[in-house]
Amino acid sequence: MQAVILVGGQGTRLRPLTLTVPKPMMPLMNRPFLEFQVNLCLRHGVREIILSTAYLPEVFRSHFGDGSHLGARMIYVTEEEPLDTCGAVKNVERYLEGTFLVFNGDVLTDLDLTTLIAYHREKGGKATLYLTRVEDPTAYGLVPLDRGGRILEFLEKPSWDQVTTDLINAGTYVLEPELLERVPEGEPYSFERQLFPQLLEEGVPMYGFPSEAYWMDIGTPAKYLQAHYDILSRRLPFRFEGEEIKPSVWVGEGAEIHPQASVFGPTVLGPGCRLEAHAVVSSNCVLGPGCRIGEGAHLEGAVLHEGCEVGPDAVLRRCVLAREVTVGERVHVSDQAVLGGRVKVGDDNDLRYGIRVWPDAEIPPQTIKF
């Protein structure tokens, strides 16, 4: 079977992280996020993957190439103008050979694809949608089912008075190719707002596949952090890289930990990281390659991309630092603050409450305080 992965969105809710890297290529556990979906496909024998790109397309190709090193065959199709979710699949129709899978490119899941595909065949509908349960369905596509699992309605971003179930579209579909015959070519067209509601109106059989599998849409900084914590606590499969120097502490090649520094798991230090004396890297941290943590600095629940420098006595908690961020002495960063690439924070600043600093900004010493 083939899979189409939709990776054309701009990831606006994750800015400034997504200004230079498309959301599906953001590092998750120091790997490009999309590798998780590609690996899921490979685990279930899906080897041909068509990437439907629109935003920053070259980043995907330069990482995955033709996919052969992963045992996959990757095909890239780039839209000149974004064609929306279904238009994007119509645009790759010439590559499709039969029943196929579609993935939203921003979902982390360990769904059993083999069972999903078997369920689709058993029910014999034209489309089968993976569904998950959430507390607040208003940010998703609401999908009520009848007792036989048939989809009754598809309501994208419902208002609270429309909410009749907690089942939502989890962003993975098994589809029959003839569905694309009715989709217009070369113009924006949406699965969620156009094709699915229209099929239901016409009585075309579509089924929902509710699953308790791990599921997370990494669309916001809070969820991006949570995805790291969940992988660190092994809520979904992951092959940790580096040496496990003590339980759940993985350290990459060439990393140097001062004898008076401490690291507590679960935590990952990328290759070439350096921890100075009395630095404490506590639980739920993931440090990209080549990060340097100054004397007496304290990190907990912090995700640092490649090449960040953290000054002496700085404190980082539940925050994200993109590539090559420099943080001065005694700086505090917490509460889901996000610092864009190459940001420089001068000494004695305090960044909190979900603050987002755009790439390359420089914050002079003692500028932000609470």
Closest approach of ligand GDD to the CB of residue 34, in Å:
10
Q: Assess 18 for contact with ligand GDD (CB under 6 A).
A: no
Candidate segments 5-13, 227-235, 330-338, 353-361, binder of ligand GDD by CB under 6 A: 5-13
- Which residue of 192, 276, 300, 348 would you call a contact of ligand GDD, by CB under 6 A? 192
Site string for Mg ion, 68-107 (x = CB under 5 A): --------------------------------------x-
Question: Is 116 within 8 Å of 102 (Cβ atoms)?
Answer: no
Strands (E), 139-201: 141-142, 155-156, 167-175
Closest approach of ligand GDD to the CB of residue 330, in Å:
38
Can you read off the two tokens belonging to residue 95? Answer: 């590559």
How would you class 1 by CB atoms within 10 Å of its CB: exposed for 0-12, middle for 13-18, buried for 19 or more? middle
Closest approach of Mg ion to the CB of residue 40, in Å:
17
Closest approach of ligand GDD to the CB of residue 95, in Å:
14
Binding to ligand GDD (CB under 6 A) within 44-63 occurs at 52, 54
Q: Where are the alpha helices (DSSP H) in the chain?
A: 34-43, 58-64, 84-90, 113-123, 196-201, 221-232
Q: Is 93 helix (H, G, I), strand (E, B) or coil?
A: helix
Closest approach of ligand GDD to the CB of residue 120, in Å:
18
Q: Assess 106 for contact with ligand GDD (CB under 6 A).
A: yes
Which residues contact residue 197 at a Cβ distance below 8 angstroms, ignoring those fewer than 6 apart? 153, 154
Q: Which residue is nearest to ligand GDD (CB)?
A: 8
Binding to Mg ion (CB under 5 A) within 180-239 occurs at 217, 219
Can you read off the two tokens belonging to residue 365? Answer: 């010493």
Query: Nearer Cβ to Mg ion, position 84 or 106?
Result: 106
Can you read off the two tokens belonging to residue 155? Answer: 């309501």
Question: Kindly report the CA angle at 223 between 64 and 137, in degrees rounded to 5?
Answer: 110
Which positions touch ligand GDD (CB under 6 A)?
A: 6-9, 52, 54, 79, 82-85, 88, 104-107, 140-141, 156, 168-169, 171, 192, 217, 219
